[in-house]
Amino acid sequence: MLDDSVSRRQAGIFLLFAPGTRPDAEDLVRLAEAPGGAGERSGKELVSFSISHRPAEHPYWLELLALGLTFDLQGLVLLAMIQFDKGELRSLAQSWRSMTAARSGRLGSDRLRRFEAVIGAMKLLLERQVAEAVTLARALAGESRDPTFEFEAACNLLALLSRLTRHELRLESLDHDVRVVAQRFAVSRTTCELLVRSLQDDAALVTIVRDAYAAICSEAEDAVSNTLNGLPSEAAKLLLARAEETLNAKLMDLALHTMDRHRPSIDGVEALRDRALALHKRYRSYGTQVSLGG
C-alpha cells in the first residue's frame, strides 16, 4: 500500500501481509515491475521505484529487516498519530480502515479494540465530530485500571489525551486520568520517561506524571526506612495498601519482598501475602514493566 501522507521526495511503501507470513525479495520485485503498480490498483498517486541492489544468492535479503523490526499493529497506531498531527484525514481514515479490517478476525482482543478506538478518536476529531471523539477518549481512560490495560495502552491513551488538549478539548477529568495512569505505570525511570514522551511536551501533564513517579519512589523509600528501623509489619501493610490503590508493580514487588524476608516479624503475614499474591497475579502478570528487546 502506498501511503499518500508522504511527499514525492519522501515516498514510502507499506506492505500489509497476513499473520505468519512476510514479503520476500520476489514480492518487492513484482511490485516494482508491475504495470501501473500499487498506485493504480489502490486509486492513489503512482510512486514508481526500482530495486537498486539485490545480493546474489540471497533471495531472502529482507531477513535483516524482518529480524530487526517488529511487524506489529502498534506501528499503525503510531502512523495514525503522525497523520493526525499533519492533519491528513484521508490517510488517517485509511489507517483506521486497515485497523478495523485487522481486528475483524480478532474481535475478542482488548488490545486491538483499543488500537481501533485510539485511531478512531483521532479520525473523529479531524472530521469535527468532537462529541464522539471525546466519548471514545473517556471510555479508554475509564479502562486504565482494568487488568488487561497494559503499558502500551497507557502510552497510547496519554498520546491521545495530549492531542485532545492541543485541540483545546480539555476533559474535566484530564488531570485525574493522567495521574491514575502514571501512578500505575511509572514503575521505573524508563517507564516514567516513556510516559512523558507520549505527552508531546505538555508541561502541565508532564508534571503530573513526574510527580506521581516521585511519590511512588518516596513511598518505597519510606517503607525501606521503616523496615530498617525495625517496623517491617508497618512497611508491608503500607506498601500493600498503596499497591492496591495504585496498582503499581514496583510497590507490589517490594511488598512481597518485605513479607518474604521479614515473615516472622509481620503480624498476619499469611493473609497479607495472599492479598499481595492475588493482586500480583491479577495485574502484575500483564506486565507494567517495559521490555526492551527480546
- pLDDT for residue 30: 77
pLDDT of 50 strictly over 80? no
pLDDT digits 0-9 by tens, 137-185: 999 999 999 999 999 999 999 999 999 998 888 888 999 999 999 999 9
Count the domains in the chain.
2
Angstrom distances, CA of residue 57 to CA of 25, 26, 28, 60, 218: 11, 13, 16, 9, 59
Residue 82 within any structural domain of the chain: no
Q: Is 94 helix (H, G, I), strand (E, B) or coil?
A: helix
Can you name the residues that pair with 2 across neighbouring β-strands? Answer: 13
pLDDT of 194 strictly over 80? yes
- pLDDT for residue 200: 87
The residue out of 44, 71, 98 marking a domain boundary is 71
Q: Is 128 helix (H, G, I), strand (E, B) or coil?
A: coil
Average pLDDT, the chain: 83
Give the Cα separation of 206 and 202 in Å (integer). Answer: 6
Burial class of residue 23, CB neighbours in 10 A (0-12, 13-18, 19+): middle
Give the Cα separation of 232 and 221 in Å (integer). Answer: 13
Taken in order 102, 104, 106, 112, is the CA torsion positive or negative?
positive
Return the amino acid letter for 226. N
Residue 274 within any structural domain of the chain: yes
- pLDDT for residue 201: 84
- pLDDT for residue 273: 95
Give the Cα separation of 157 and 68 in Å (integer). Answer: 27
- pLDDT for residue 168: 80
The residue out of 71, 99, 114 marking a domain boundary is 71
Residue 157 within any structural domain of the chain: no
pLDDT of 20 strictly over 60? yes
Q: Are 137 and 160 in contact (CB under 8 A)?
A: yes
Return the amino acid letter for 284. R
- pLDDT for residue 88: 93
Give the Cα separation of 66 and 186 in Å (integer). Answer: 31
Mean pLDDT in residue range 53-62:
54
pLDDT of 3 strictly over 60? no
- pLDDT for residue 41: 47
Residue 234 belongs to what domain range? 214-285
- pLDDT for residue 52: 63
Q: Are 279 and 243 in contact (CB under 8 A)?
A: yes
Residue 293: band (very low, low, confident or very high) from pLDDT cuts 50, 70, 90: very low
The residue out of 29, 50, 71 marking a domain boundary is 71
Residue 288: band (very low, low, confident or very high) from pLDDT cuts 50, 70, 90: very low
Residue 156 within any structural domain of the chain: no
